Amino acid sequence: MLLLGAVALCVFAAFTWQGTAAKSGTICYTCDGLSGLEKIVCLADDFKASLTSAQISTLELGYNLTNAAKWSNLPVTLASRIGIRFGDLSADQLVKAKTLIAAAMGKGTNEGYDEAQQLWAADQYLSQNGGGSAYGSGQYYMAFLGTPSTTTAWELQTGGHHFAVANTYGGGVMTGATPSFRAVEPFAAFQSGTNTYQPLLQERDALAAVLAGLTSAQLTTAKLGTTYNDITLGPGKDWQFPTTKSGIKCSLLSAAQKEKVIAAIRTYVEDIDSVNAAAYIALYTAQLDDTYISYANTTALAAQKDYIRIDGPRVWIEYSVQNGIVLSPTHPHSVWRDHQSDYGGLGNPNVATNNLQAFDGKYAIFPNPSTGNSQVQVELNHPAAIRISIYDAMGKQVGSDLAYNVTAGSHYFPIDLKGVPAAVYNCILTVKNAADGTVSRASRQLSKI
């Protein structure tokens, strides 16, 4: 595991940083006191400051669909990537690059950055066990599409064989976390140094649990009549979502079955930072009744051509079992996409469809800070189904969702945080308009003291 220490950035400039004017000359500041997008941009600048001008030209490219779409599941010798190659960086530069990637990803065990490190280790294992120079932990790339900024649009792209991250930002927020591709060969546990890894086991087990939880009649409804040799929305298949959904609709599932679907979605969404992951989970949960589950071949998701899909108004997840390429027996390909926000919406032909909007009503929490009991005030212009979800700083949900069907007007709902540790919690409000089905959300922080 990579240990991340303090990161200090020194640049020669005359500018204003965090509202404080700095004099011309060599200026050193730390990114450690920052959070969210500000920290990501600070770390991106720190990485750039370690590069030559030629390296920066290789790293920083235009924010457009042509560049954004240049990812693949194939080894880089078969499908070239854009950006700067890990193997061409110095040890110090590589630490800075990976520190940035870690800040942009989730921090859970076997998810987010931990999963990324295991996938790099898996490719090194392939290189050393029959794959040769086409594989390896140095055969990964990172690119900035646009200039990293807390205001303007840009994408942090990183990937290589079996790994692709496309985090897009604009207007001070994350505007897209997909396409997010994961695969691994070997799928079975492998040894790297003194550690044993199996990075996609959680995804496989959670998806298999969804199918195992269905009745025989539900499985009949969910089964697809087509054989799938791979995922359908892989590289080069941008915005090609099926116009008709297939399988069983989640509105027909029990509460326990729905929980299994959300648990499977979490194994993909929690690859991003906890605040944005919580927002995506809240959105996908609000849309769950209009989400479909389908599969092909067998339900164990262990044999070649086993396949499962989760397809909602926004969420799209596929998992497909392939034959081994370098090693036997099989290995998976999987992808998380979003019908609306792949690449931050670049090239979306249906930009208005299922668009997640900013909540335009009043959303307040008081008292805040709280000793345990607070109230949420929500003011609506229309009848709606609302959901309040609370997450800790690591993205773990605290308690159950608070769900209500309410009329237009002002409403008050209790929040009970007695018995939970003193900390700052993220309270995600998701509102589904009863008339037209549009979904909006807002986020507030609640301090428990």
The label of the residue with tokens 């941009």 reads 41
Q: Is residue 130 predicted with pLDDT exceeding 70?
A: yes
Nearest to residue 56, comparing CAs of 95, 97, 25? 97
What gap in Å lies between CA 11 and CA 144, rounded to an integer?
A: 19
Least confident of 12-21, 121-130, 159-168: 12-21
**Average model confidence (pLDDT) for the chain?**
89
Q: How far is CA 103 from its chain centroid?
A: 13
Contact 360, 381 (CB under 8 A): yes
* pLDDT value for 162: 98
Higher-pLDDT residue of 68 and 351 is: 68
Q: How far is CA 403 from its chain centroid?
A: 24
**pLDDT digit string, tens, across residues 224-279:** 999 999 999 999 999 999 999 999 999 999 999 999 999 999 999 999 999 999 99
**pLDDT digit string, tens, across residues 140-149:** 999 999 999 9
Higher-pLDDT residue of 258 and 393 is: 258
CATH topology of domain 357-448: Immunoglobulin-like (2.60.40)
Nearest to residue 38, comparing CAs of 147, 150, 146? 150
Q: What is the mean pLDDT of residues 375-381?
A: 93
Q: What is the dihedral of CA 264, 265, 270, 276, to 10 degrees?
A: -160
Q: What is the mean pLDDT of residues 38-67?
A: 96
Contact 92, 50 (CB under 8 A): yes
* pLDDT value for 79: 96
* pLDDT value for 425: 87
Range among 193-197, 211-215, 379-383, 414-418 rated most confident: 211-215
Q: Is residue 356 predicted with pLDDT exceeding 60?
A: no
Range among 91-105, 390-404, 408-422 rated most confident: 91-105
What gap in Å lies between CA 268 and CA 207, rounded to an integer?
A: 11
Q: Is residue 18 predicted with pLDDT exceeding 60?
A: no
- Give the percent of the chain with pLDDT over 70: 90
Least confident of 233-242, 262-271, 284-293, 425-434: 425-434
Contact 148, 323 (CB under 8 A): no
What gap in Å lies between CA 187 and CA 200, rounded to an integer?
A: 7
* pLDDT value for 400: 82
Higher-pLDDT residue of 32 and 350 is: 32
Contact 86, 139 (CB under 8 A): yes
* pLDDT value for 14: 31
Question: What residues does each domain of the chain span?
Answer: 52-354, 357-448
Q: How confident is the model at residue 351 (pLDDT cuts 50, 70, 90)?
A: low
> Token digits for 130?
């029959």
* pLDDT value for 338: 95
* pLDDT value for 358: 65
* pLDDT value for 398: 83
Q: Is residue 296 predicted with pLDDT exceeding 50?
A: yes
* pLDDT value for 170: 84
DSSP letters for 334-377:
EEEEETTTGGGGTT-TTTTTT-EEE--SEEEEESSSBSSEEEEE
Q: How confident is the model at residue 71 (pLDDT cuts 50, 70, 90)?
A: very high
Q: What is the mean pLDDT of residues 388-406?
A: 80
Q: What is the mean pLDDT of residues 297-309?
A: 98
**Beta partners for 154?**
169
Q: How confident is the model at residue 394 (pLDDT cuts 50, 70, 90)?
A: low
Least confident of 257-266, 344-353, 410-419: 344-353
**pLDDT digit string, tens, across residues 77-89:** 999 999 999 999 9
Q: Is residue 22 predicted with pLDDT exceeding 60?
A: no
Q: How confident is the model at residue 204 (pLDDT cuts 50, 70, 90)?
A: very high
* pLDDT value for 426: 82
